[in-house]
């Protein structure tokens, strides 16, 4: 985790653990406050550098200025004075080669940067960030693209969403084969000890596994009641063990067009 001297929740304008940021929220009325700009710059810049280091990238791909000059949205997870994780998404125009050797031009929502501090990994923070993003963006994992996904992210997608097969692309984006399958039905959520490490599949004979029905669609978003930083999400019965247990408040996002 990254701990700051200032109160992060005061900086983001809410005591909730997850907030969403884009160029509009970064350029709201608080832009005239140098201290606020410095604090948000420190939060995003520090997480961006840690993410780049974890992915062995030469330079960070997330910062205050990069987000301010893009159409991307960043989901930020904080707790008390600690910045714990982030997930950045945006649409990209991609040319993807399929199994048949044909190229398709698509424009999916893509995961562009995804980082959870090492001390909080495998505690549910990443899954919560991803689920909140899916709900807010009205997205499904198999209809998304993933920019240079790390082995950890590929394992995450295999374990939680049953995604495993894809064709390596020259642009280093991963788009799963089922993206192009009009008959594909996402699997129900599996509740079991562990999936197979190589295939992500669960043996049918495993008595520890049971299929849990997918949750019903979320209720319509409530009007925003806080700052325009975009407080979003869904009601959670409990936050990850290492977090303080704050719940997420639902927030309306502008409608997003999707090519599917």
- Report strand pairing: 18-21 vs 94-97: unpaired
Calculated CA dihedral for residues 12, 53, 3, 235, nearest 10 degrees: 50
Q: Which residues in 29-67 are b (16+ Cβ under 10 Å) and which e?
A: ebeeeeebeebbebbbbebbbbbbebbeeeebbbbbebb
Interatomic CA distance for residues 244 and 132, integer angstroms = 18
Q: Which two tokens stand for residue 34?
A: 């140098």
Output the tens digit of pLDDT for each of the chain's 260 residues.
688 888 898 888 888 899 999 999 888 755 578 899 999 999 999 999 999 999 999 999 999 999 999 999 999 999 888 999 999 999 999 999 998 899 999 999 999 999 999 999 989 999 999 999 999 999 999 999 999 999 999 999 999 999 999 999 999 999 999 999 999 998 875 444 444 444 444 443 333 333 333 333 334 333 333 333 444 433 333 455 444 434 344 333 333 333 32
Q: Which two tokens stand for residue 41?
A: 């710059």
Interatomic CA distance for residues 87 and 41, integer angstroms = 16
- Report strand pairing: 103-106 vs 94-97: antiparallel
Query: Which single residue is written with the structure tokens 């930020």?
Result: 76
CB of 58 closer than 8 Å to CB of 103: no
pLDDT given at position 202: 40
């Amino acid at each position: 985790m990254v701990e700051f001297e200032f109160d992060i929740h005061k900086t983001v304008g809410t005591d909730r653990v997850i907030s969403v940021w884009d160029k509009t929220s970064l350029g709201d009325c608080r832009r005239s406050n140098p201290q606020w700009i410095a604090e948000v710059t420190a939060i995003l810049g520090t997480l961006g550098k840690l993410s780049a280091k974890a992915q062995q990238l030469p330079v960070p791909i997330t910062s205050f200025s990069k987000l301010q000059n893009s159409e991307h949205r960043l989901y930020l997870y904080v707790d008390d004075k600690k910045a714990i994780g982030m997930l950045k998404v945006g649409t990209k125009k991609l040319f993807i080669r399929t199994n048949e050797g044909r190229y398709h031009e698509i424009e999916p929502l893509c995961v562009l940067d995804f980082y959870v501090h090492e001390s909080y990994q495998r505690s549910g923070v990443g899954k919560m960030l991803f689920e909140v993003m899916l709900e807010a963006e009205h997205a499904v994992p198999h209809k998304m693209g993933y920019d240079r996904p790390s082995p950890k992210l590929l394992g995450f997608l295999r374990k939680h969403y049953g995604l495993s097969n894809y064709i390596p692309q020259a642009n280093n984006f991963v788009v799963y084969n089922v993206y192009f399958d009009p008959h594909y039905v996402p699997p129900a959520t599996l509740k079991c000890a562990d999936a197979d490490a190589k295939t992500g599949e669960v043996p049918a004979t495993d008595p520890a596994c049971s299929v849990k029905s997918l949750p019903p669609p979320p209720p319509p978003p409530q009007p925003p009641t806080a700052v325009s930083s975009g407080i979003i999400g869904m009601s959670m019965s409990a936050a990850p063990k290492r977090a303080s247990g704050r719940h997420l408040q639902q927030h309306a996002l502008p409608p997003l067009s999707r090519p599917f």
